[in-house]
Amino acid sequence: MDTSWMHVSVTPRLQAALLMVFLCFSSLPAAAQQAQPSSSPPENVQRFVELIADPDVQKWLLQQADAAPTAERPIAPHSEPDISFADFTMRFRSHMAGLFEASRSFPSQTMQAADFLDQEIEESRGIRPIFLVSAFLAAGFLLQWIFRALTSRWRHWMAQAPFTTVHERTLAVGTRLLWAACYLASFAIGSIGFFLLFEWPPLIREIVVGYLLAIVVFRLASAIVTVLLAPPGLTDATSHLHRVIPVSDAAAAHWSKRAVYLIGWYAFGWVTIRLLGTMGFSIPARQLVAYALGLVLLAIAIEAVWRRPHPTSLAEHKPRINWRAKNTLWTLYFIAIWLLWVAGAMKLFWIAVVVAALPGAIVLAKASVNNLLGTPAAHGDDGSGMTLLSVIVERGIRAALIIGTLIFLADVLEIELTEMTMQDSPTLRLVRGLLSAGIIFLAVDLIWNVAKVLIDRKLGQTQATFEIGSEQERRRARIRTLLPIFKNILMILLVAIAVMMGLSSLGVEIGPLIAGAGVVGVAIGFGAQTVVKDVISGMFYLLDDAFRVGEYIQSGSYKGTVESFSLRSIKLRHHRGPIYIVPFSELGAVQNMSRDWSVVKFMLTVSYEADIAKVKSITKTVGKTLRDDEEFQPFIIENLKMKGVEEFTDYGIKLSFGMTLKPTQLQSAIRRRAYAMLREAFKQNGIEFAQPTVQIGGDDKNSAAAAAQVQLQAHQREAALNAAAK
């Protein structure tokens, strides 16, 4: 199996895309910001809730609301008030003060949580959670080992699975993911499943299940990263051949370890913060712990940046200072987003994460899809090796990433995408319109790329040649003629639809625009009648199938091979080299010399002494010899024949010759070869070509007088020339 095409160098874009994996795990904002205390509400709050739930109270409140004057009801603006810098400063000050106070009270909260945990341990007969986690981890690893032993044939088949075609690659990756899922499920059943079979105190159950779940997430991340990157050094020696993300072995080993460490530490920190809330820690205290755990993620990300392998192309053509500058920028970026998180600026935090993570995720998705579903040529940037399936999947993933990011940012920024009121600010309306326009353009982009791949694939199939004059050849020429024009028209149509729908989503009334465009179109039509005439004439030429790409046509003084044409003109390549660009309206009647068949005729004049019957026999022999030529045989329909006597001239007999050929550019070559063969055959058989002669009749005296007269005229001409020269 040839897998050399899979070993590609790590490009800078792909290296940067792999770096984006860390942005989603560089902090623990969700656990620190969303955790809420688990204590029950006070007694007076419970009484208030019960009073509001009473049906009589609700009915009285509704009656009072209906009876109130409308003018007294203030209309609350839907849009959020602007937040001043002073408000942000006060919130930041309050946030930092809470963290400082949490750092002072953290030891006492820790002692209270420890006492609470000791009570739970006493109720569970003195069994500590750490021993339970270790014991059930051992049970999970045991069941996992049994599963691995039972699936040895499965693993052997995966190691030997081919990875050449799209079907083979998809089957191999899908099988590996299925095995990894079963492998992880066996560990989860052996650890968490066995633990849940017994009754445990609530806090002990939360701690053990939480950390077992974190370990399962860590193992799941390891399995997925192993399938995607296939780092070297695994037990399966051929695993690197099944790599989904096309990176080098060094890059795969580097990024796989760091990604697993980040995800595992994130899961551990998330569980820890949740458990601290269960044990009664305050929100500032939990935030303080989360920020401390986030420092470990920050250190892993910075270490991964500085120790990542150099891309080959970058190391060969750029100095090392640029590499260090990039690493410095990434380090400053990670520190900045960590500081934004600590400062509580979550909106800026998520915007900064998304701005860097989204492009990297798109690049990774494209590289992985092209490597898995594309042809070997898909590793280039021209997209020549992309298949229909790869285009649909890649563009679909990109659209899903962008749309999901837009929805996520709208939720973070508290923007309602589906509800629009009259009190919305212009900025909010503009943001909604931009998001809707972005979704429209993504859908149009997907449709265009799918259509483009289908058209390019069909045009690629027309590269094969068929027998000249056959139905397959005519169909091929027609496809090569019409598909490029259809492609351009489709692109213009999709762009126009996307622009109109985008403007409509932005709140622009497109009805007047369409009407105005119609009026402007009429004005342009009157002002550019020639252009309109060219376009309409070209449409009728195509409907009549008057010519196709590759055919030789003649129209007036223009003739040549059709190379291509646009909406208003055609390009004709003359057989001597020049190219004519002729508007359709100037073509007029078209003489197509490349359809079905053509008759080549020519005339030869022989002397009156020539034997006509012998000439006919010689021509028949030459025609057979010409058809036996391997170069010309496929293009000759009827052999060269002498048609008969065409005319008696003053000095010979003019004979007509002809042969029927298929449409080909070799007609001139065949005719020239026929001339040469006839001349040689006539010479060998004593057939002479007629030559112009002048006969002067009369006696010797008249002849001498005529000669003297001719000589005198010659002397007179010579004297006149000499006088003119002087």
Q: Which H or E run contains 659?
A: strand 653-661
Show Cβ contacts of residue 315 under 8 Å, excluding neighbours closer than 6 positions.
Answer: 323
Residue 611 CA to residue 618 CA, distance in Å, equals: 11
Secondary structure of 690-715 in HEC code, one letter for each residue: CCCCCCCCCCHHHHHHHHHHHHHHHH
Give residue 418's pLDDT.
60
Mean pLDDT of all residues in 366-389: 65
Task: For the chain, give the percent of residues with pLDDT over 90.
Answer: 5
Give residue 262's pLDDT.
92
Give residue 511's pLDDT.
72
What percent of the residues of the chain are helix, what percent strand, and what percent coil, each to the nearest 5?
Answer: 70, 10, 25
| pLDDT tens digits, one per residue of 506-529 | 777 777 777 766 666 666 666 567
Task: Write out the two tokens for 205.
Answer: 């159950």
Show Cβ contacts of residue 516 under 8 Å, excluding neighbours closer than 6 positions.
Answer: none
Q: Which residue has the higher pLDDT, 127 or 289?
A: 289
Q: Of 463, 481, 338, 468, which is closest to residue 25 (Cα–Cα)?
A: 338
Flag whether pLDDT at 81 surpasses 90.
Answer: no
Mean pLDDT of all residues in 75-93: 56
Q: How far is the first Cα of the chain from the last one, in angstroms, to the nearest whole number? A: 90
Cβ(334)–Cβ(295) below 8 Å = no
| Spacing of C-alpha 290 from chain mean position | 40
Provide the pLDDT confidence category of residue 421 given band limits of 50, 70 and 90. very low
Flag whether pLDDT at 244 surpasses 70.
Answer: yes
Alpha-carbon distances of 487 from 303, 462, 472, 545, rounded to whole Å: 49, 16, 22, 18
Flag whether pLDDT at 723 surpasses 50.
Answer: yes
Mean pLDDT of all residues in 285-301: 91
State the CATH class of domain 598-684: alpha beta
Count of C-beta atoms within a 10 Å radius of residue 339:
12
Residue 508 CA to residue 503 CA, distance in Å, equals: 5
Mean pLDDT of all residues in 233-239: 57
Count of C-beta atoms within a 10 Å radius of residue 514:
10
Q: Of 264, 137, 133, which is closest to residue 206 (Cα–Cα)?
A: 133
Pairing of the two strands 569-573 and 579-583: antiparallel
Cβ(638)–Cβ(583) below 8 Å = no
| pLDDT tens digits, one per residue of 36-72 | 444 445 555 555 555 555 566 555 655 555 554 433 3
Task: For the chain, give the percent of residues with pLDDT over 70.
Answer: 71
Question: What residue spans define the domains of the chain?
Answer: 17-33+105-414, 534-594, 598-684
Residue 314 CA to residue 16 CA, distance in Å, equals: 12
Q: Which H or E run contains 554?
A: strand 552-555
Mean pLDDT of all residues in 354-369: 88
Give residue 172's pLDDT.
81
Task: Write out the two tokens for 425.
Answer: 């600010």
Give residue 634's pLDDT.
78
Residue 18 CA to residue 366 CA, distance in Å, equals: 12
Residue 91 CA to residue 178 CA, distance in Å, equals: 49
Three-state DSSP class for 190? helix
Residue 213 CA to residue 192 CA, distance in Å, equals: 8
Give residue 298's pLDDT.
92
Give residue 665's pLDDT.
62
Q: Which residue has the higher pLDDT, 79 or 460?
A: 460
Task: Write out the two tokens for 296.
Answer: 């470990």
| pLDDT tens digits, one per residue of 561-579 | 888 777 778 888 887 788 8
Give residue 447's pLDDT.
85
Sheet containing strand 653-661, strands side by side: 598-606, 653-661, 636-648
Cβ(120)–Cβ(201) below 8 Å = yes
Give residue 79's pLDDT.
40
Would the CA dihedral through 19, 23, 25, 27 be positive or negative?
A: positive
Three-state DSSP class for 380? coil
Give residue 266's pLDDT.
92
Provide the pLDDT confidence category of residue 302 given band limits of 50, 70 and 90. very high
Mean pLDDT of all residues in 471-477: 66
Q: 598-684: same fold as 534-594?
A: no
Mean pLDDT of all residues in 604-625: 88
Three-state DSSP class for 483? helix
Mean pLDDT of all residues in 538-558: 78
Flag whether pLDDT at 504 surpasses 70.
Answer: yes
| pLDDT tens digits, one per residue of 393-412 | 888 888 888 888 888 887 88
Q: What is the DSSP letter of 309?
A: P
- Please list the residues that pair with 706 across neighbouring strands: none
* Best mean pLDDT range from 6-10, 122-126, 393-397, 588-592: 393-397
Residue type at 82 in one-letter notation: D
Residue 370 CA to residue 365 CA, distance in Å, equals: 8
Flag whether pLDDT at 332 surpasses 90.
Answer: yes
Provide the pLDDT confidence category of residue 718 given band limits of 50, 70 and 90. low
| Spacing of C-alpha 490 from chain mean position | 18
Residue 159 CA to residue 242 CA, distance in Å, equals: 9
Residue 607 CA to residue 651 CA, distance in Å, equals: 7
Q: Which residue has the higher pLDDT, 380 or 323?
A: 323
Provide the pLDDT confidence category of residue 648 given band limits of 50, 70 and 90. confident
- Please list the residues that pair with 588 across neighbouring strands: none
Mean pLDDT of all residues in 640-656: 86
Residue 120 CA to residue 200 CA, distance in Å, equals: 9
Flag whether pLDDT at 617 surpasses 50.
Answer: yes
Q: Which H or E run contains 420?
A: none
Would the CA dihedral through 656, 660, 662, 666 be positive or negative?
A: negative
Q: What is the DSSP letter of 84?
A: P
Give residue 344's pLDDT.
83
Question: 534-594: which CATH topology?
Answer: SH3 type barrels. (2.30.30)
* Average model confidence (pLDDT) across the chain: 75
Give residue 207's pLDDT.
83
Mean pLDDT of all residues in 147-164: 81
Q: Of 2, 22, 25, 8, which is closest to residue 245 (Cα–Cα)?
A: 8
